């Protein structure tokens, strides 16, 4: 197993080794998501592209809630690993998995039943509501698999192994893409088939992760006698995880509200925003991954009581964040027109392409801002300051939604980019002074 104890040697080296698999995993997953939209747009049509776009923030709300719970519990597991407390490490994993059985089944059933109502709430146009609902119902069936993959992946990352989850994600995403190309692209099946292949891929990634841990990771291997739900441990997991899950949920809730505003502008703008949002994912998700590297580094060294290394790790992580943000911003600025033509082509697509290009032009200048927020958020999570990350994220999302609704009737799709920038700037102004004074207090104590 590729364990990585980050309490010794170069912080920058640890950050790079840990972050690279996460960034590669995200890049491949995002490539699949973009390819899924490309396949939907080119082989099923504009309505399918719009339907997957409308469903995306709903599913992101679910996925980010699950990943937030896993990230929060991962902070605890990283601390136990840094303190070399293997018994509590296993107990935390067992509790997380057993809790997830009930949680994920309830969420899956509720989502399946409420799919139509959710689409009405977010102002989905009537002519694409049926196709969106059929896609969404099937996707909700993947909830238990999504939960278990995220929980097991978080456990591996807590002990420094970020490369193994990458391998399983690569395999399952490649399987998903191949099935989409065969059944949707070549054989002409519709959007329900596209959703079904996603469920299959999620199941494969969960099964592979569990099998690997049971066979190859003694530190995390759970025998029958290890399977118990410890009430006190569950309280700690929920204390960390619920705040992180709530923070992770705030973003997609805001996106749902923004999607509602976009939906009022018609199918062309919906399709353009879906395509451009996929590009945003390529820019923002790797920045979040670097933030996760900062979280694990900080938590392990906090468990080992190494304050100086925590500060060094934060500096190294922020340097990586800014470097990536500059690269992706320049790339999107130069290639924005060619990027949009990947999703749709032809004379009937000119309005969609123009809307997407205007949005990406503005966003390419703003990607530096979330690199700074993701870096400091990763540090705060590693220090156990979940309430601060929740408050700052809420500030960002609320401002983003407010400015979108104020500006959208005047500026159209470009208002979303402006609103994002306003939210990120206020987030920075809130978090960085807090982090500065917190570290000064810890240094003097």
CB 413 within 8 A of CB 355: yes
280 vs 400: CA distance, rounded Å = 15
Task: Find, among 429, 117, 67, 44, the residue nearest to 247 by Cα.
Answer: 67
**Are 283 and 332 in contact, with CB atoms under 8 Å apart?**
yes
**Tally of structural domains, the chain:** 1
Taking CA 67 as the corner, what is the angle to CA 125 and CA 183, rounded to the nearest 5 degrees? Answer: 55
Percent of the chain scored above 90 by pLDDT?
A: 9
Domain with 104 in it: 11-444
338, pLDDT greater than 60:
yes
pLDDT at 383: 84
pLDDT beyond 60 at 155: yes
Could you tell me if residue 4 is inside a domain? Answer: no
Name the strand (E) or helix (H) holding 439. Answer: helix 414-444
**pLDDT of the residue at 312:** 85
Taking residues 123-142, what's their average pLDDT? 75
Give the contacts of 341 (CB within 8 A, at least 6 positions apart): 353
- Quickly list DSSP for 247-302: HHHHHHHHHHHHHHHHHTT-HHHHHHHHHHHHHHHHHHHHHHHHHHHHHHHHHHHH
pLDDT band at 426 (very low <50, low <70, confident <90, very high): very high
314 located within any domain = yes
Q: Is residue 220 part of a domain?
A: yes
Other beta carbons less than 10 A from residue 134's beta carbon: 17
Q: Is the pLDDT of residue 53 over 60?
A: yes
Is 1 contained in some domain?
A: no
375 lies in some domain = yes
Euclidean distance between CA atoms 100 and 148, whole angstroms: 7
Query: Is residue 23 situated within a structural domain?
Result: yes
pLDDT, average across residues 95-106: 84
Question: pLDDT tens digits for 222-268?
Answer: 887 777 777 777 787 777 667 666 766 677 677 778 877 887 777 77
pLDDT average, residue stretch 1-19: 68
What does the alpha-carbon distance between residue 299 and residue 277 come to, in Å, rounded to a whole number? Answer: 32
Q: Are 33 and 278 in contact (CB under 8 A)?
A: yes
CA 49 – CA 44 distance, rounded (Å): 8
In this structure, is residue 247 part of a structural domain? yes
Mean pLDDT of 331-347: 77
Q: pLDDT tens across 105-119, in order?
A: 888 888 888 877 877
The SS3 call for residue 345 is: coil
Tokens of 59: 């599913």
Q: Is the pLDDT of residue 399 over 90?
A: yes
- Extract the tokens encoding 51: 């339907």
Residue 2 included in any domain: no
pLDDT of residue 1: 46
| Average pLDDT of span 313-330 | 90
Report the predicted TM-score, pTM, of the whole model to 2 decimal places. 0.63
pLDDT category at 367 given cuts 50, 70, 90 is very high
DSSP 187: S
Q: Identify which of 54, 58, 73 has the alpha carbon closest to the alpha carbon of residue 110.
A: 58
Residue 373 pLDDT: 92
Rounded CA gap, 159 and 139, in Å? 31
CB of 379 within 8 A of CB of 435? Answer: yes
Pick from 311, 15, 64, 309: nearest CA to 162: 15
Is the separation of the CB atoms in 415 and 407 below 8 Å?
yes
Q: What is the 3-state secondary structure (H, E, C) of 94-124?
A: HHHHHHHHHHHHHHHHHHHHHHHHHHHHCCC
The per-residue pLDDT for 42 is 58
In whole numbers, what is the pLDDT of the chain averaged over residues?
79
Whether the pLDDT of residue 12 is over 80: the answer is: no
- pLDDT class for 365, splitting at 50, 70, 90? very high
Is 80 exceeded by the pLDDT of residue 46? Answer: no
Residue 2 has pLDDT above 60, yes or no: no
Task: Decide if pLDDT at 425 tops 90.
Answer: yes
Q: Distance between CA atoms of 191 and 179, rounded to whole angstroms?
A: 13
pLDDT band (50, 70, 90) for residue 177:
confident
Yes or no: say if 95 and 226 are a contact pair by the CB < 8 Å rule. no
pLDDT level of residue 150 (50, 70, 90 thresholds): confident
User: CB within 8 A of 408, min separation 6: which ones?
Assistant: 261, 262, 264, 265, 415, 416
Query: Mean pLDDT: which of 32-46, 126-140, 179-193, 271-285 is highest?
Result: 271-285
């Amino acid at each position: 197993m590729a364990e990585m104890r980050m309490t010794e040697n170069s912080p920058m080296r640890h950050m790079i080794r840990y972050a690279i698999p996460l960034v590669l995993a995200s890049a491949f997953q995002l490539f699949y998501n973009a390819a899924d939209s490309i396949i939907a747009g080119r082989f099923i049509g504009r309505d399918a592209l719009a339907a997957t776009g409308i469903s995306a923030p709903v599913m992101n709300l679910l996925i980010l809630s699950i990943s937030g719970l896993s990230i929060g519990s991962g902070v605890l597991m990283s601390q136990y690993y840094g303190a070399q407390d293997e018994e509590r490490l296993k107990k935390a994993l067992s509790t997380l998995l057993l809790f997830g059985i009930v949680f994920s089944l309830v969420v899956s059933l509720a989502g399946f039943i409420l799919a139509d109502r959710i689409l009405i709430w977010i102002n989905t146009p009537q002519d694409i509501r049926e196709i969106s609902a059929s896609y969404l119902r099937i996707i909700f069936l993947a909830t238990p698999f999504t939960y278990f993959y995220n929980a097991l992946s978080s456990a591996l990352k807590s002990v420094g192994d970020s490369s193994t989850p990458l391998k399983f994600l690569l395999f399952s995403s490649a399987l998903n893409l191949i099935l989409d190309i065969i059944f949707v692209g070549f054989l002409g099946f519709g959007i329900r088939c596209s959703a079904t292949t996603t469920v299959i891929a999620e199941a494969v990634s969960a099964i592979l992760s569990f099998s690997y841990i049971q066979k190859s990771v003694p530190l995390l291997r759970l025998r029958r006698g290890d399977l118990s739900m410890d009430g006190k441990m569950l309280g700690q997991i929920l204390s960390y995880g619920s705040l992180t899950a709530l923070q992770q949920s705030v973003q997609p809730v805001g996106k749902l509200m923004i999607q509602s505003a976009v939906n009022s502008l018609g199918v062309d703008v919906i399709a353009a925003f879906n395509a451009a949002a996929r590009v945003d994912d390529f820019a923002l998700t790797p920045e979040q991954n670097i933030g996760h590297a900062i979280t694990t580094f900080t938590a392990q060294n906090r468990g080992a009581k190494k304050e100086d290394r925590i500060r060094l790790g934060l500096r190294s992580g922020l340097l990586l964040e800014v470097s990536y943000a500059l690269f992706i911003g320049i790339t999107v600025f130069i290639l924005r027109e060619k990027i949009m033509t990947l999703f749709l082509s032809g004379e009937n697509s000119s309005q969609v392409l123009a809307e997407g290009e205007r949005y990406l032009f503005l966003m390419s200048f703003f990607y530096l801002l979330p690199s700074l927020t993701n870096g400091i958020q990763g540090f705060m999570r590693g220090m156990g300051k979940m309430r601060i990350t929740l408050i700052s994220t809420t500030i960002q999302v609320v401002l983003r939604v407010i400015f979108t609704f104020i500006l959208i009737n005047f500026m159209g799709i470009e208002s979303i980019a402006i609103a994002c920038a306003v939210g990120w700037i206020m987030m920075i102004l809130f978090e960085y002074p807090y982090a500065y004074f917190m570290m000064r207090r810890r240094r003097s104590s």
